[in-house]
Amino acid sequence: MSDMPSDILIKQQIIDTVRMFCTHGLGVGTAGNLSVRSANGFIITPTGLAYEQLKPDLLVELDAEGNTVTGHLRPSSEWRFHRDIYRSDDEAGAIVHVHSPYATAMACTHQSIPAFHYMVAIAGGDSIRCADYATFGTAELSNYVIRALQDRKACLLANHGMIALGRDVSSAFRMAQEVEELAKQYCYSLQIGSPVVLDNKEMQTVLEKFKHYGRQGEEDN
C-alpha cells in the first residue's frame, strides 16, 4: 500500500474537486458530496459546510459500518449510499454525487437516459438508469441506488440528482461530467423531436469496444 497517496493528499484532492462542482456547472452552494475509499472505510465531505471553508481535517472518515473513525463534524447526510456502494462494488474507489441541472431535470421526470448516443455506454450499459425516489439519507434510497447501479458506473436519482463512480476522484468527477453532458444532449434532442435510440446489438458492440476506449496503443475508435 506504500504507493497509495497519503490521506492528506487524498483529502486535498477531495476539497479541490468539490470546489469545481460549481465552476463546472455541476451544482450550486453545498449541494452534492464526494467520498473516497480508504483503508478503514471511506473519507467523505461533511454536511452543510461551504466548500470554500473545507480543510483536510474537516473531512470525515467512516468505517464500513458508518461509524466515525476520524473527524469531529457530521458526515454528509448521504453517507449511507456511499457506504453501501463501496460494499457492493469492489471497483468503486470514489463516488461523486451532484445536483447538476440537466441530469436533475431528467431525474425529476423519473426517466432514465436511453442509448440515444453511443457514449451512454461510458456508464457501463445501454442506459443510465433512474433510481426510484426515496427521502434523502435513508436506507430505502440506498437500496434503490444499489439496484440502479447494478453493472453501471452512474445513475440518476428521482427528484434529486445523480451519482457517478470512478476508480479515483478524477475518474469519478469525469464520469459526472460525462453524465451531465449526455443529459443535456438528450434534453436538447427531446426538444427537437423523438431521439432515435440505438438497438441492443449496437450497444453491445459499443460496450465491447469500450473495454479498450481511451487506452493508448489499443483500438478505441
- The secondary structure of 53-77 as a DSSP string is G--GGGSEEEETTS-EEE-SSPBPT
Q: Cα angle at 102 between 50 and 184, to 5 degrees?
A: 135
Beta partners for residue 70, in sequence order: 61
pLDDT at site 219: 46
CA-based radius of gyration for the chain:
17
Neighbour count for residue 103 (Cβ, 10 Å): 32
Q: What is the CATH number of the domain that holds 72?
A: 3.40.225.10
Q: Which domain holds residue 127?
A: 7-209
**Is the pLDDT score of 31 beyond 60?**
yes
Q: What is the pTM of this model?
A: 0.92
Tell me if 57 is assigned to some domain.
yes
Alpha-carbon gap, residue 41 to 82, rounded angstroms: 10
Per the structure block, which three cell numbers stand in for 100? 447538476
HSE of 110 in the Cβ direction (CA atoms, 13 Å)? 4
Could you report the per-residue pLDDT of 4-25, keeping only the tens digit for each? Answer: 457 889 999 999 999 999 999 9
Among the listed residues 61, 78, 178, 180, the single catalytic one is 78
140 tagged catalytic: no
Does residue 151 sit within a domain? yes
**45 lies in a domain?**
yes
Count: domains in the chain: 1
pLDDT of residue 212: 74
Look at residue 69 and tell me if it is in a domain: yes
Residue 187: inside a domain, yes or no? yes
Q: At what angle do helices 139-148 and 79-88 cross, to 10 degrees?
A: 40
- Summarised one tens digit per residue, pLDDT across range 143-193 is 999 999 999 999 999 999 999 999 999 999 999 999 999 999 999 999 999
> Looking at the domain assignment, is residue 221 inside a domain?
no
Q: Looking at residue 218, what is its pLDDT? A: 43
**156 domain residue, yes or no:** yes
- Indicate whether 190 belongs to any domain: yes
